[in-house]
Structures are given as structure tokens and as C-alpha cells.
Chains A and B, each alone.
Chain A
Amino acid sequence: MTDVTILWTAVYIAMLAAFTGYVVISRVPAILHTPLMSGSNFIHGIVLVGAMVALGLATTPLEQGIGFVAVILGAANVTGGYIVTERILQMFDRSGKKPGKEV
């Protein structure tokens, strides 16, 4: 793809994705702000796949080192983001059984 094509594709995608993000958030009650912030924090953990490709295609030791750290950080973003969101949302479970105290 040429640079210009990439740029225009980027603009199209950005517009549609930004609209999606806006619509999803705009009708949210205040009590769900924290879980949603945490949830979107998890979703940008998709950076992990980019870090994997960066490390997987790295050739020099410097690139490998940076890629390695990037994958560690990305993976922590994914698992940490998931668990935090899960734990916060557990509080919203009204099915009767109390969430256990995790230590």
C-alpha cells in the first residue's frame, strides 16, 4: 500500500472507530464509569499483539531487548487489566452470592 492510501484508510477507520467509542460511552450511567475505564484499559492491551510482532521481527539485540520489555509490559496490561475489571464488575453481581474476599 502506498503511504497516501494508508493515510486515507487511517482517516476512515479513525472516524468510524471514534464514533463507535463515543456512542458506547455516551449513554453510560456514572456508576459504570470506573468499570468502563478499567475495561477500556484492558482493551488497549491489544498493544500486546503489536509488541509480539515487534519482538518476533526484531533482528538486532537492541531491538530484541526493547521488544522483550514491550511484550512484558503489554502482557501485564492485558492480564492486570482483565483481573481488575473482573474484580470491579464482580461487585455488580446481584445474584445473591457474595463475592469472596480474595487475598
Chain B
Amino acid sequence: MADLSWLIEPVYIVTIFFFIIGMQRMSHPLTARSGIVWAGAAMLIATLVTFFTPHLTNLALIAIAIVIGGGFGYIAAKRVAMTNMPQMIALYNGMGGGAAAGISAVALLGTTTATTGSLAVVGGLIGAVSFTGSIVAFLKLQGWMRPRPITFPGQHIINILVLALAVVSGVLVIAQPSWIPLSVTMYLPLFFVLSLGFGLLMTLPIGGADMPVVISMYNAFTGLAVALDGFSFATPNYAMVVAGIIVGAAGSLLTLNMARAMNRSLSNVFFGAFGATEEKGVMIQGSMKSIEADDVAVLLAYADKVIIAPGYGMAVAQAQQKVKELTDLLGSRNIQVKFAIHPVAGRMPGHMNVLLAEAGVAYDHLFDRDEINPEFPSTDVVLVIGANDVVNPAAHRQGSPLFGMPILDVEQAKNVIVLKRGQGRGFAGIENDLFYRDNTRMLYGDAQESVGKLVQAIKKL
């Protein structure tokens, strides 16, 4: 085969250029779809040209591994339901982190200088943390693991100790001091076990409500790990370095934006064990009052203005199609229907927008928290569909774990109907005052069924 290795650098430069164009396009709603195509084309040519790397052996193994991994990624991503997309992002992000840790491991088994070795160690640590951390996030969101924070006494001290030991063993991997009669083959496994362990321990105490922030942060972590690993080769791989840092920076900013939307600081997310503690000494007045679908139908049919506040429950019940039907039905009766979208409703920012768009609800019906909040007092009926923490008025009460989180002020509407499966709590695990208010009624049941009943009942009126 002719030596085509000179192609690699120019193609990598084009790759980076396309990645940036792709992200740029993905950041505008109209061009978003073409953005991923640009990035995808770039990834394809980058992968192909990498086969021209000088002295590359194990070609068959590489091809087999690409088919296995690529096949799994493709099939799993095609099969999964739209509602499960957040955990799939977590899963694939973890795999990227794992790959980065693997590259570090191979680099450190070979010969490295102090600089490339150090970069590989840091990349390996971050990649390994992102790997196990993302897997835990995946398991929690998938429901294969309790989403509640898992805490135990001395947790923070143990976590910090594990991290410190990981760093120490990482230093030993590079320094390999002669006064310790152990070889690199001893430190290296220890280093990776401790790093993987830290990712696991760090994510266990984080509750389901904070998972979007965590996934976003691990996304930035993987980007950084990839960037650092770009330096672990004899000739630095600048495609990895630049793409990794772009993702690291973009991911960090996204993480901060998401945390701000929830009024949570990052240290709160990681050390707060949100939802693990109860608020003491607060008695909620009143009781939960249930209502039947037929009565809700009457309320809706004779309302002038209805606002729908969807949450994760709508996603779980796959109720978005029925919700769209209800919206059309009410619209045909000249009732004004708007959607109130809390920035962190669901499990990711934009989660609700995506689902409602899937069902065909027009964008101009969807309103941000800040846009819609002044409208609640003039609203006849608010339908809260599977949302909980984002409508909890406890956020206005000092001392509540939710205090300060900007919420949808649905309690100001004349009637609030909460569609809920049972009397359980939200992700944050906090009792919701809203359910006990005088103007609140609970419509128990699966959201899809309940909305279906509402549609039927309104048609009969």
C-alpha cells in the first residue's frame, strides 16, 4: 500500500473545522439537524485516515473491535425509546471515558517521558472517573439502581482518601522511585482501580434530580480526558486535543448553566446528597384531595385559559401524544392552551421540548418559566402532568432543601390539577406543599390513561 500517512494531519484539520461548524449549526434550531451531519462526516474521514498511521499493526483486531463497538452503539441507540435518551447519553459518554482510560493505560505501559506520562496519568484518572461515574448515572436513570442518594458515615472522607491514593499511585506510575521495590505493573492497576472506584463513590451520593448536571459534567470530563490523551502518543494527536478541549469547555459551561437553572451550586450537587435529608419541623397544612377525570373535563371545557406544566411523569407514561390530542381538542373549543416548560423539567434541559415536538406540539405554544410565570394568576386551570419538584412552592420557603430554586408558580392559578401515579415524592424526595393547597386536586393514575380519559370526557360535553 502506498504511504498515505501525509494525509492524516490535513484530514484531521478538516475534521476539527467540520466539528466546529457542526457545533455552531447545532446551536441554532433551524440548522441543528445539519450540524450532526457535518460532525458525522468529519468523524468518518478521521477514522478512515487513521488507518494510514505509519507502522500500524493489528489491523484485523481494530476492524473487529470497531464492528463490535460500533454495532452495539448503533443498535442500542436505535432501539431505545425517546424517553430513555438521557441515560443513553450517559452510557455512551462513559464508554468514551473508558476508551480514554484505556489509551492512557496502553501509553503508560509503554515508554513515556515525564510530560507525556503526567498528561496520560491525569487523562487516565479523569477518563476512569467519567467511565464509572457515567455508568452509575446510567444505572440510576435506567432504574436498575435506586435513584435516591446513597450515603454512609464518613463518606466524604473516604472519597477524598480514595482520590488522594489514586493521585499518589499516579505519581508513582510516572516517578517509579527506585527506593520502592515495585514495578509499574503494580502501580498501574492500583491507579486505575482507585480512579474507577472514585468515580463510583463520587456518583453514589448524588440523587436522580441532579443527574442531568452530573451527566453534563462527566461529558466535559471525557472531553478533557480525550484532550490529555492526545498527548500520550509519540506524535501528539491534535484532532483529539482540540476536539477534546472544545467539548471540555462547552460541557463545563453547559454544566454551570444547568446548575444555575436549578439554583444549585456544583459543590451542592456533589456534596449535598440532595433529597437524602428531611426538612425538620415543617408541618404541611391541609390534605390531598382527589378528583375524577369527568370533573376535570368540565373544568377544562369551560375554561378560557389552560396551562399545561409537564414533567418527567409525562415522559415515563409516554403521554405526549395524548397531551397533543387534548391541546388540539381544547384549541378547537377556542380555549387558549399554553405549555409551561421549566428549564430542568424531566431529566435534562429541553427534555420536555423534545418530547412535545415529537408529538407535534408547535414551538410557539411552549413558554419558558420566566415568560409564563406572570400568567398563572389569570389562568383558569393548570394541568401538572407528572411534574413535582419544579412546581413545589416549598422553594419559596426558607429552610427547605429546595429553597431558592426558581419554580413554576402554578399555585397562583384558580385551579391546579395534578396528574400523578400515586402519592410518592419527586426526584428530590421532598414533600410537595402544592398537593395540599385548597385549589389543588389530584388526578391519580397513569398520565397517558388519565389524559386519554380527559379527551374522551371533553368530547362528550
Interface positions of A (Cβ within 8 A of B): 1, 3, 6-7, 9-10, 13-14, 17-22, 24-58, 60, 62-64, 66-94, 98-99, 102-103
Contacts and interface: CB of A to CB of B under 8 A. Distances in A.
A81 B249 CA distance: 18
Interface stretch (B203-211, B235-243, B272-280): B235-243
A12 B65 CA distance: 34
B85 A38 contact: yes
Given A18-B245, A73-B95, A75-B70, A50 B251 contact: no
A53 B237 contact: yes
Contact of A84 (B32, B55, B88, B355): B88
Contacts of B29: 29, 31-32, 92
Question: Chain A binding site: helix, strand, loop or mixed by DSSP?
Answer: helix
A27 to B, nearest CB: 7
B69 A73 contact: yes
A68 B29 CA distance: 38
Give the one of A3, A50, A63, A89 with max B CB within 10 A: A50
Contact of B102 (A56, A60, A69, A78): A69
A19 B32 CA distance: 21
A54 to B, nearest CB: 4
A83 B74 contact: yes
A32 to B, nearest CB: 6
Interface of B: 15, 19-20, 22-24, 26-29, 32-33, 35-36, 39-40, 43, 46-47, 50-51, 53, 55-59, 61-62, 64-74, 76-79, 82, 85-86, 88-89, 91-93, 95-96, 98-103, 105-107, 109-110, 113-116, 119, 215-216, 219, 222-223, 225-227, 229-233, 236-251, 253-254, 257-258, 261, 343, 348-351, 353-355, 357-358, 360, 363, 366, 368
Contact of A22 (B67, B253, B258): B253
Contact of A46 (B46, B64, B360): B46
Given A57-B56, A79-B77, A98-B360, A46 B239 contact: yes
Given A20-B246, A50-B240, A77 B96 contact: yes
